[in-house]
Amino acid sequence: MSIYQHFRQEEKEFIDQVLNWIDYVDKNYAGKLTDFLDPREQYIVQSIIGKERSCRVQFFGGAKQSERCRAFLHPDYYEPAEEDFQITLFEIIYPEKFVTHTHPEILGSLMSLGLSRGKYGDILIKNKQIQFFSASEVADYIRTNYMTVGKTKIQLQVKPMSESIVTDELMTEHSVTVSSLRLDTVLSQAGRMSRQKVQTLIGQGLVKVNWTTVDSPSFPLKEGDLISARGIGRIRLITVGDKTKRDKWKITLGKMK
């Protein structure tokens, strides 16, 4: 059975990249550090490596609760340290009394620097305090070129990891059964909303899976997917279990508060 059969067609390129990373570690007996990965990508890496390989993987995004993490693939005899992940924590200094910045504004201004999304980890916002994690290899470039958010002039301060913001976001888990793993079916159950209303949200472009807008109600979900929907919030499909006697899927959902 091909390894690709376990994943989506559009994930083939990433899977090939993971296989190349593993091959590098096995041949060179050396570690391989990736860019920041989203939770779905982390799941794919973990699934491919499994437990039988001499190659191992650990994830770290700068803090225990980090969503976006760098993966460090390494030989089984090596124990990675925090420094191996090469992450820098920046705090944005701006005139808090006069402006308020949102997550999309911060991300948009960072992306305007010309770096890929993979060079940035989580963006943390709490009580107008704003921080973000970046890959250390581009930290000097960011510090030199990141000067504004919109029309607001900013300054950057490098902070120790121990001073990262602890956000108030919590996730509550609950187990349910669903007739299928279609996006509209799972989101209807998670949001306690009719499938018709969910399909309307999807049609209006208000639903994303792993940060990408999805316009098909029948889009098949996989373990580790993060769904965000206007009016419902953020939902993670944590586990997909076996089917019940009534041919329904047992799943565990996590809802962000």
SS3 assignment, position 195: helix
Helix (H) or strand (E) holding 249: strand 249-256
Q: Are 57 and 74 in contact (CB under 8 A)?
A: yes
162-180 pLDDT per residue, tens: 999 987 666 789 999 999 9
Give Cα 203 distance to the centre of its chain: 24
Q: What CATH class does 11-84 carry?
A: alpha beta
| Domains 87-163 and 171-256 fall in the same CATH topology | no
The topology under which CATH files domain 171-256 is 3.10.290
| Side chain identity at residue 232, one-letter code | I
Residue ranges with strand state E in 87-185:
87-93, 120-126, 129-135, 148-149, 152-153, 155-159, 171-178
- In whole angstroms, give the CA distance from residue 218 to residue 77: 44
122-133 pLDDT per residue, tens: 999 998 999 999
Q: What are phi and psi of 244, to 5 degrees?
A: -80, 175
Give Cα 216 distance to the centre of its chain: 21
> What pairs with residue 129 in β-bridges?
126
The topology under which CATH files domain 87-163 is Alpha-Beta Plaits (3.30.70)
> pLDDT grade, residue 97 (50/70/90)?
confident
What pLDDT, on the 0 to 100 scale, is given for residue 148?
Answer: 96
* CA angle, residues 247, 252, 256, in degrees to nearest 5: 145
What pLDDT, on the 0 to 100 scale, is given for residue 64?
Answer: 86
What pLDDT, on the 0 to 100 scale, is given for residue 169?
Answer: 65
* Nearest alpha carbon to residue 35 among 114, 154, 137, 130: 137
Residue the block writes with tokens 């993979």: 118
What pLDDT, on the 0 to 100 scale, is given for residue 188?
Answer: 94
Q: Are 255 and 190 in contact (CB under 8 A)?
A: yes
Give Cα 119 distance to the centre of its chain: 13
Task: Tell me what percent of the residues of the chain surpass a pLDDT of 90.
Answer: 75
Going from N- to C-terminal start, the domains of the chain cover: 11-84, 87-163, 171-256
Q: Three-state SS string across 208-240, please?
A: EECCEECCCCCCECCCCCEEEECCCEEEEEEEE
Dihedral sign from CA coordinates of 91, 97, 99, 104: positive
Range of lowest pLDDT (45-59, 116-130, 132-146): 45-59
Instruction: Give CA separation, 37 vs 87, 96, 121, 164, 189, in Å.
Output: 13, 31, 8, 19, 28
